[in-house]
Structure 1
């Protein structure tokens, strides 16, 4: 059955429009009609939504379970802290996590994503087995918990089961903390198929694969993974840390992104996560490949990863999106703000990611992550247009920071000033899941999450 809403204002592919009637069927926009008569017959039967409606933002990189460990790695150790010492905190946290815990944490993370403006998520899912590494009776137990959390919150889902077989480049043995992640290609194939069944109950869900990194696969197992999944998105961590780049050069004579571009069929299906440390040549080659760079600016700053070469990449026609990765601060406006501010620090300039004189930086950033995120998730998302997912983020234009601005200045003020405080209503897949800034299931989801953390942190 069709449902209709009348949007007071909306950002459509060709610009801002007033009094936009949208018709939704099976979670998709089937009609988008601007400039209808708000009190006349053309608006009959449409529920009115005040404010400014933007397309929902795709989150292209998430490890949901890490939301539960946010804040646990902010104490300096005996040596210089880094990504690698942070990873040890993660391994200790995982020693206590049950499937029920994973579901509760994922639901809380997804609820926060929706409340703050993400409407779809790509779950880069590598937590597969029990604490001792033994597969659960249902190989897809943990994947099923991700699907359940997505269904309960209403967020759109692209599930990416991750192939993780080794502990370092060149097929080095995994360490004890990685045992919950490990599969060989044969078992991974069964996991992908089981995951496909499990997400079939989540409206609009997609399946892809995520070879974890060149540290966690070999060339042979990476090629085997590609044969398992001849279609759908392919996500992989690449060039996040300087040590990773140095180790890859020692192993292969090439840098991680260079190796992938040389050895793999990198194209529009691929999403290279982080790509923090690339040479100018790698940056241009990746931009021209059609792949998406998956940027996680808040996590990359938290972990001390470095700064992505955004200006060169965008100037070369590269496509990118943003993700929440470790979920330390779930906030699409915050990710974009951090991305731009890091560029300003690196170049000692302002409005670096805008591409022309007079262009709105907020409009450019939002446009890029909507298109890049939709491609990365293989979802018909990122626009208020027929055939796209019925995802909306509606800003409260009575918010004091937004009340006196119009056009692209609303986007600049939203991203750089008001942020998530301005999010009033969120629609995901044609269902209103957030009203007045609060998720419809907030009380129960939050209570379950709180109880879960109390038990884990007391262990």
Structure 2
């Protein structure tokens, strides 16, 4: 049984001093606080639970920085999507494995210990099913195994190009399934998983599924996580109203049994009533502030939503820049810009923004991925340590430590990361970083030549 000893550790959403975590079979077997370090303990200054990344498209890490050129006067999400379709046209399963592994290395180095992979790239470049319908899923599982990140696989059902069962575009050909084909894919995908990986379903969006198909997809996975894109774009909201008379989140809350298994990704454009009803449903809002800023999506109404008791998790979505603290910082800063005020995502009970954001993201992220949250006996030993020798922590105390990490650090603040009890990051670097980066560079050099 291995033991980690921390001067302070974030346990139960508060700091505990002199904490020893005993680890066996990848889980936390015991926690002691207020104890001296033993000779056999591995000693660190600050211990935190790893965060869950609730929303990732791993392969998109390979196109990061390739879509920042102005190409037309109305550049927006929809024009970015066409660039993304062109990039994925040529990807093989080996390419997806190499690119996704690089993304997962960066996630672990940045404080994420589990990822929800919203996986929709299923078929070959012509749109034909591989002999193994879960060939691409196997590439995701390979990347997870190579890096050690915890995996919640979210196979995506995608059948149509827009609301009302509109025909798909040519760029969507690699995503498409009917219900029978998706059921076959889902069964094959389950067989690819190992360890404590789990699986859910992801009806892509109300643009891509009909109401009957949504019900059928949910029936294929009656207990796992359910993730869906919702209300990311103003155009999406307007098109949904034209199709159904209701906004996307409004439609889901009125027509699907949305509960605490669900994660509504983005939910950027909520009105006041939707924010209150979504919070009451128990579902998690899956927020990706860096991607949402990069794509010009808009600003999630976080103050109203949290006031109503809503849960949220954070994700890296397009993987344009992978940084757990950066997602939390961008969430708070977006609220400040919108409301021209400060310290908005805090309250009297939790007056320090960093601690409030971090605690909520730990709890909401785990809920969204169907796993246990935080440092507790029986939970996976998914842990990160902070390096208090980093200049950003000079003069810190318990109250401001998380604020300093989230708002004042650059790189290097995270020292080590353990995933299921195995140390995957040491001195800020993933143990397989060099090998994974070499494969990634070779892949991109070939793809972009």
Give TM-score, length-normalised by structure 2. 0.98
Aligned residues of 1:117 and 1:420 also touching (Cα < 8 A): no
Match of 1:182 among 141, 164, 176: 176
Compute the displacement of 1:6 (Å): 1.8
How many Å separate the matches in 2 of 1:303 and 1:195?
Answer: 30
Match of 1:216 among 200, 208, 223: 208
Partner of 2:292: 300
Partner of 1:198: 192
Compute the displacement of 1:406 (Å): 1.1
How many Å separate the matches in 2 of 1:205 and 1:78?
Answer: 42
Which runs of 5 or more structure 1 residues have no equivalent in the other structure?
none
- Cα-to-partner distance string for 1:199-234 (whole Å, 9 max, x where unaligned): 1x2x21010000000011000111000111111000
Partner of 1:16: 15
Aligned residues of 1:334 and 1:419 also touching (Cα < 8 A): no
Partner of 1:361: 353
Compute the displacement of 1:49 (Å): 2.8
Aligned residues of 2:53 and 2:316 also touching (Cα < 8 A): yes
Aligned residues of 2:17 and 2:34 also touching (Cα < 8 A): yes
How many Å separate the matches in 2 of 1:402 and 1:275?
Answer: 34
Partner of 1:122: 116
Aligned residues of 2:58 and 2:318 also touching (Cα < 8 A): yes
How many Å separate the matches in 1 of 2:273 and 2:412?
Answer: 40
- Cα-to-partner distance string for 1:24-77 (whole Å, 9 max, x where unaligned): 122211111112222xxxx2532x232211110110000000000001111111
SS of the residue corresponding to residue 204 of structure 1 reads coil
SS of the residue corresponding to residue 142 of structure 1 reads helix
How many Å separate the matches in 1 of 2:324 and 2:434?
Answer: 23
2:236 corresponds to 1:244:
yes
2:308 corresponds to 1:316:
yes
How many Å separate the matches in 1 of 2:23 and 2:208?
Answer: 42
How many Å separate the matches in 2 of 1:55 and 1:235?
Answer: 23
Compute the displacement of 1:167 (Å): 0.4
SS of the residue corresponding to residue 181 of structure 1 reads coil
How many Å separate the matches in 1 of 2:16 and 2:243?
Answer: 54
2:109 corresponds to 1:110:
no
Compute the displacement of 1:17 (Å): 2.1
How many Å separate the matches in 1 of 2:350 and 2:268?
Answer: 28
Compute the displacement of 1:441 (Å): 0.3
Aligned residues of 1:315 and 1:355 also touching (Cα < 8 A): no
Partner of 1:31: 30
Aligned residues of 2:53 and 2:115 also touching (Cα < 8 A): yes
Aligned residues of 2:10 and 2:48 also touching (Cα < 8 A): yes
SS of the residue corresponding to residue 100 of structure 2 reads helix
Which runs of 5 or more structure 2 residues have no equivalent in the other structure?
none
How many Å separate the matches in 1 of 2:2 and 2:247?
Answer: 51
For the structure 1 residues 95 and 56, does the alpha-carbon distance in structure 2 shift closer, same or farther, using more than 3 Å as the test? Answer: same
- Cα-to-partner distance string for 1:257-306 (whole Å, 9 max, x where unaligned): 00000000000000000000011000100000000000000000000000
For the structure 1 residues 123 and 356, does the alpha-carbon distance in structure 2 shift closer, same or farther, using more than 3 Å as the test? Answer: same
Compute the displacement of 1:19 (Å): 2.4
How many Å separate the matches in 2 of 1:183 and 1:301?
Answer: 31
How many Å separate the matches in 2 of 1:389 and 1:367?
Answer: 17
Partner of 1:84: 78
Match of 1:326 among 318, 321, 324: 318
Partner of 2:162: 168
How many Å separate the matches in 1 of 2:73 and 2:398?
Answer: 50
Q: Pairwise mapping of residues 153-164 of structure 1 onto structure 2 (< 5 A)?
A: 153-164=147-158
Partner of 1:404: 395
SS of the residue corresponding to residue 251 of structure 1 reads helix
Compute the displacement of 1:385 (Å): 1.0
Match of 1:63 among 38, 44, 57: 57
Partner of 2:276: 284
How many Å separate the matches in 2 of 1:384 and 1:266?
Answer: 28
Compute the displacement of 1:455 (Å): 0.5
Which structure 1 residue ranges, 4+ long, deviate > 4 Å from structure 2?
none
Compute the displacement of 1:421 (Å): 2.4
For the structure 1 residues 14 and 188, does the alpha-carbon distance in structure 2 shift closer, same or farther, using more than 3 Å as the test? Answer: closer
How many Å separate the matches in 2 of 1:390 and 1:257?
Answer: 35
Aligned pairs, number: 449
Give TM-score, length-normalised by structure 1. 0.96
2:342 corresponds to 1:350:
yes
